[in-house]
Amino acid sequence: MDLSRFPRRRYTEGATPLEPLPRFSAELAAQCPGGRGPEVWVKRDDLLGLFPGGNKTRKLEFLVADALAQGADTLVTCGAPQSNHCRITLAAAVKEGLKCRFVIEERVPGSYSPTGGGNHFMFRLLGVEAITVVPAGSDMAAAMQQVADALAREGRKAYVIPGGGSNALGGLGYVACAQELLQQGFERSIGFDRIVVGSGSSGTHGGLLAGFLGNRVRTPIVGIGVSRDPAEQEPLVHREAQAVADLLGLDLQVPRAAVKTIGGYWQPKYSLPNPMMVEAVQWLARCEALLLDPVYTGKTMAGLIGLARAGFFVPGERLLYLHTGGLPSLFAYQDVVLGDTPVDR
């Protein structure tokens, strides 16, 4: 597929690494039925640009290019208090000489602190222009539009980016990732039997799926819900994948059966820790020096581990875990991930 007709800024040089996790795969296999498990690899999208980058870097390559084409001077976006998406959007704005404002949804009351650690600290260090904090359940689109309207009254021009950068244009970032992955697999003669990815605002999962379908690739993608169980998450991913496919002019209906997500690993609530996440974060750190985060990648890896133990994967299948980033929020949950603060489920 030719993505070159969509304007794109580049924030990463080259492809992100594809690495095997042999020590982890061996330890995991010992806990799988019959002592045989998947051969796990990781795609290091935590090493994307706009350091410490993550999946939002890929979406922003297309979104920011559109903002610049429209003559915007300010990026406006929204997220949860420890939002990687807000932080990476801000980093892109800085690079492009734009201003940046956020609307933060306090999904957990009292969880945003201007003097807090992790991403909160980085918002200030990178020089966010203004943050509006709204309570859980607020209409985020309306709140961002208010910010944009206020800027317009001052003669400025805002470009509003939806939560997680997950619209059709942002999803193109993961179409590009799908193509990058296929090219890497071709160059290195590695094929993957399945992909495991975190599934939240759905641009990553939906974009990847649209990218595979557009290339006639049938590799199954398993999304691990980070905030919703399948009944709610799958329609969201399906809509996103279809929107991306339509933007690409693929002229195809995304099969509903191609959208698969797993629930049960994000509880008790989005962004709140559980013991399975703590186990996954510690395991990958101590076995592969791979740093996961407590909100997304730790829970996603907990899902991979749980599925493996339950015999979900075919013994010996080659599994690709997509690492989507999130490093800074590790520093907002230090006691929890070290096991010094007990967490119950």
Catalytic residues, which ones? 83
Q: Is 164 in the site for ligand PLP (CB under 6 A)?
A: yes
Q: Which residue number, 25 or 297, has a Cβ lying nearer to ligand PLP?
A: 297
Identify whether the C-beta of residue 225 lies closer than 8 Å to the C-beta of residue 296. Answer: no
Identify the CA nearest to 282 among candidates 344, 224, 329, 330: 330
Task: Tell me phi and psi for residue 205, to 5 degrees.
Answer: -60, -50
Identify whether the C-beta of residue 237 lies closer than 8 Å to the C-beta of residue 223. Answer: yes
What are the counts of helices (DSSP H) followed by strands (DSSP E) for the chain?
12, 10
Q: Is 228 in the site for ligand PLP (CB under 6 A)?
A: no
Among the listed residues 58, 85, 101, 299, the single contact to ligand PLP using CB under 6 A: 85
Query: Residue count at the site for ligand PLP (CB under 6 A)?
Result: 20
b/e per residue 126-156 (b: at least 16 CB within 10 A): eebeebbebeeebebeebbeebbeebeeeee
Question: 30 Cβ partners below 8 Å, 6+ apart?
Answer: none
CB of 59 to ligand PLP, least distance (A): 7
Give 260's strand partners. 222
* C-alpha to C-alpha distance for 334 and 97, rounded to whole angstroms: 33
Binding residues for ligand PLP restricted to 284-323, rule: CB under 6 A: 293, 296-297
Of 9-17, 142-150, 195-203, 258-266, the window that binds ligand PLP (rule: CB under 6 A) is 195-203
Among the listed residues 60, 238, 324, 328, the single contact to ligand PLP using CB under 6 A: 324
Q: Is 203 in the site for ligand PLP (CB under 6 A)?
A: yes
CB of 307 to ligand PLP, least distance (A): 18
Q: Which residue number, 16 or 324, has a Cβ lying nearer to ligand PLP?
A: 324
Among the listed residues 57, 84, 111, 261, the single contact to ligand PLP using CB under 6 A: 84
Residues that bind ligand PLP (CB under 6 A): 54-55, 84-85, 164, 166, 198-205, 293, 296-297, 324-326
